[in-house]
Structure 1
């Protein structure tokens, strides 16, 4: 299997995360414009586009960078000693930069002002808890796929996100870079900056608990 140097891995993470955010924000704008005020229909369009994009992006970029697209996933990989801290910090910065560029790309495609700040508050214990659950499930899906069905990982992750859009009150951001970038879009997919810290705390907590839980659950028994 080919190995790629750090600059190319960072570029892959930035580009993949940019396309992910373009899909999330762009499909949200399109869905809201076409749904005629039907929020459920707009969310359905947003959901399907995001899940489909994830399958393609993970398939494309996983052989290059691992297709994290998510600082919480990168943190788990680092704590599991699958990558060094220096690379992890670079990954997180690339993901954040790519996420912001992806939001701006979506704005440009739909004739929206590039620079925006969201006014959509997403607050309260239910939404924060939802983010912990959503990220726990995402990390569980990733670790389980890596352990048992690596070839199925893109589909399993995409399907999980599609489901989590609907079974969590927060619509499953499950990603600190996505959360920060979406605060820069006052559109359907936006989140007010005041809501961002609680979401990120919950996401990191959910990822950490999932890492501990599935590190134990998936550990192979030592045989004598």
Structure 2
């Protein structure tokens, strides 16, 4: 159903409930799902978070300068990107890590035209280090990269199966939205993505699907057009 997608993976998801670090078994399962989607003929860009190591806005950074903390968070995303690249390449696929912060020994610098060329050649591209700027989350980086590579949709894989009216882990009466607009997310202050990312997607009419990555095969199902999770439109 989609020719080119941008997949957003959270760092916490790669920890698979451990809270810190990378779960080796789970990251290989994610790589296998990405390989399945690639086999369908879909071009895939990926943005990974770094919350399983360090978050610039977390309690652990409370006494730190925000800029320094955010830079540490960006470097955490590079660790996750390299780990995911390794898992994908073990399946025989070609994968490139492109970093918004230059570090030539471990990743290519992010250049939009080069990223587009990698995708056209059938390579999987992982975008690391967020936007390269402090005060911007990896959600904003995912929105930005989705627009830059002209993705058909932004896929946000999370630990819950969609967008709810309240936190389903805390409120048993929370209801799930099958479809919702970006304006409704902003109006209801739903904690799906940060407001910068939501506004960016809304202003550029980028559709987004929020779904659970806990069930194996969900990424391929979404790509194939199955109605999973919540669809967000402008």
The structure whose RCO (Cα within 8 Å, separation 6+) is larger is 1
Whose helix proportion is higher, 1 or 2? 1
Whose strand proportion is higher, 1 or 2? 2
Normalising by structure 2, we get a TM-score of: 0.30
Normalising by structure 1, we get a TM-score of: 0.31
